[in-house]
Structure 1
Amino acid sequence: MATRYRPHISLVGLIYIIIGLFIAWDRGYIDASLIRRLGSALLAVFLWFLILLGVDLHITA
């Protein structure tokens, strides 16, 4: 019987990442502009067929 490998993150790892995101936001490494650009990029990757139809997926404030 084959077992499936499911990667998981521990609670400590999740807290570490959340604190790191907060510190990066507080120190100016992450800002609203970066989040908008990342969001637009992710939409473009997952909804690429809409781009071919002429839909603008840029997130604006």
Structure 2
Amino acid sequence: MAYYRSRSGIGVAGLIYILIGIFVAWDRGYLNADLLRRIASALAAIFLWFLVLLGADLHITA
């Protein structure tokens, strides 16, 4: 009896699709450096919330 394992995650084609989408969004002005800094700051605050409670400033500046 054969057992099949399902793969989780995205494949190479999915990764290429996402990368092309990011490039097109950047090229058309939907993404910019300020937006990426704000997203990075928000992610840092989410994952390092305990530092925020201790008073750390996690805003990423240029």
* TM-score (normalised: structure 2): 0.86
Match in the other structure for 1:27: 28
Q: Aligned partner of 1:32: which letter?
A: A
2:16 matched to 1:15?
A: yes
Partner of 2:47: 46
Q: Displacement, 1:6?
A: 5.2
Q: CA deviation at 1:51?
A: 0.7
Q: Name the larger-Rg structure.
A: 2
- The 1:57/1:5 distance shift into structure 2, 3 A limit, reads farther
User: Where does structure 1 lack aligned partners over 5 or more consecutive residues?
Assistant: none
Say what the alpha-carbon RMSD is for the aligned residues.
1.5
Distance, in Å, in 2 between the alignment partners of 1:6 and 1:16 is 18
Aligned residues with identical type, % of pairs:
67
Structure 2: gaps (5+ residues)? none
TM-score (normalizing by structure 1):
0.87
User: Which 4+ stretches in 1 moved above 2 angstroms?
Assistant: none
